[in-house]
Amino acid sequence: MTEDRPIPADNTTPASEPAQAWDEAMFAAAAERHRRELQVHCYRMLGSLEEAEDHVQETFLRAWRRRDSFEGRAPVRAWFYRIATNACLETLRRQPRATPRAGPGRLPPYSQFPWLQPYPDRLLDEATPAEEGPDALVVTKETIELAFLAAIQLLPPSQRAVLILRDVLAFSAAETASLLDTTVAGVNSALQRARATLRKFQQSSPPEVAISDPSEQERALVQRYMDAHERADPDAVIAVLRDDARLTISPAGLCWEGREAITPDYKKGFALLGDWRCVPTRANRHPAIAHYLRRPGDSQYRAFSLVVLGIQDGAIAEITTFSEPELFSAFGLTDTM
């Protein structure tokens, strides 16, 4: 599995002295330095953008309260990861989630993970500075895509934590065991089982991991999709779908498999809802669209849904719809147009 390159032991945060000696400004500086990567970590653990932010806040609250437990012998980054990981594990154990049933070789539809939410690329870019320095965290596409997020949600929480810490963040087995209060043997066993589960859902072709600008073909396809909506032309949307395209709507739990199954309900819904305006954005390193809807009798276009598109061989293979207008603000989008 391709790894995110972790931030090395940082010498700029006051990790050389016990945390109980920090004042509030020193602690705030250390926390802010690691805020975004910890949010990405909690997002991977939980699958929810909203819960991830809550758990980052909880991490820093616990760290401040327990600062006398940090003696400065290890990087402060590892200390934050220990607290964040265990906070997520506590939540997952306290509020277990029903695991969707996976078919042979293909992930369940994303709509079967009602807690799963998209992650804005603009926040990923904050975790990955444009001018990469020695302390930059490179978030690879493979480890932030919805497919990866959904796959690791199928793992038991402890296996998920081990896989993320070892295969994504490149902590050693000994470091991971220390973070999770377990043994190296336990870490290696959990990692082996987690990898075996993920292998069932790996694509036959090598995954695309490089982060690059969208191609001209991709931009043109996304523009066709948006133009078709704003022209109220559902046939034009159907025309850019692959034969085996999948449409899901979360958190409603709805799913259509194949263009033939999608077409009648898509056309029906198109006609009933109203007028559309579309704003391009990006989520989980994929093209995404913010849909605004003006219903009959309304004077404004209002935030309606976020759609993440999966593109394959010049056509749309996946339309993942999140009917959660409250997510618009995280993407830097307004509630109305």
User: pLDDT tens across 37-70, in order?
Assistant: 999 999 999 999 999 999 999 999 999 888 877 7
CATH number listed for the domain at residues 216-331: 3.10.450.50
Residues 309, 288 contacting (CB under 8 angstroms): yes
Q: How far apart are CA 61 and CA 264, in angstroms?
A: 51
Question: Could you tell me the residue ranges of all domains in the chain?
Answer: 19-199, 216-331
Per-residue pLDDT of the chain (337 residues; tens, 9 = 90+): 444 544 333 433 444 455 555 678 888 888 888 999 999 999 999 999 999 999 999 999 999 888 877 766 667 888 999 999 999 999 999 988 888 876 666 789 999 999 999 999 999 887 654 444 444 456 777 889 999 999 999 999 999 999 999 999 999 999 999 999 999 999 999 999 999 998 887 653 333 333 456 788 899 999 999 999 999 999 999 999 999 999 999 999 999 999 999 999 988 888 778 899 999 999 999 999 999 999 988 999 999 999 999 999 899 999 999 999 999 999 999 999 8
pLDDT digit string, tens, across residues 11-26? 334 444 555 556 788 8
Which CATH superfamily groups domain 19-199?
PhyR, sigma-like (SL) domain (1.20.140.160)
58: how many CB neighbours lie within 10 A of its CB? 17
Question: Against a cut of 0.95, is the pTM above it?
Answer: no
- Collapse the DSSP code of 25 into the 3-class scheme (helix H, G, I; strand E, B; otherwise coil) and give the result: helix
Which of 308, 335, 331, 259 lies closest to 116 in space, CA to CA?
308
Q: Report phi then psi at 5, rounded to 5.
A: -80, 120
In b/e form, how buried is each residue of 246-271, taking b as 16+ CB within 10 angstroms?
bbbbbeeeebbeebeebbeebeeebe
Q: How far apart are CA 297 and CA 221, in angstroms?
A: 31
